[in-house]
Amino acid sequence: MTRSTDSEKAQRLNAAHALLSGGEDLSKAAEILITRYGVSRRQAYRYLEEAQEMAHPVAVEEASIPMTIKVPGSVARLLRESARTRGITIGELVARAVRDWLSRERGRG
């Protein structure tokens, strides 16, 4: 069985949270999660257990898509250093920079 993505986990936790917040009992909520997401009974109860501790739904992030780009070595070194300094991945750093650049470009039209 494949591991769920962070986005899938967030969606399932939010579903479990909504079921519990709506007054559904644990066994019925587990059955709903099993049917809706095809998870095992054990995993459904894990989601419910975690959802019981949540004050509010969690943010669902968009799934990332692998992408290969070529940049000069000096740019790659700067990206690695900047990502390491900030404590984020190179992918997150690039995504933020591209989002910022695209939002500025849209305003120029």
pLDDT tens-digit map of 35-56: 999 999 999 999 999 999 999 9
Q: Are residues 79 and 73 in contact, defined by beta-carbon separation less than 8 angstroms?
A: no
Q: Are residues 41 and 34 in contact, defined by beta-carbon separation less than 8 angstroms?
A: yes
CA atoms of 45 and 37, how far apart (whole Å): 13
- Residue segments in the chain with a per-residue pLDDT below the cut of 70: 1, 109
Q: Please report, for the chain, the start and end positions of each structural domain, with discontinuous segments joined by +.
A: 6-52, 73-106
Query: Containing H/E element for 107?
Result: none
Q: Are residues 48 and 26 in contact, defined by beta-carbon separation less than 8 angstroms?
A: yes
CA atoms of 109 and 99, how far apart (whole Å): 16
Write down the pTM of the prediction.
Answer: 0.61
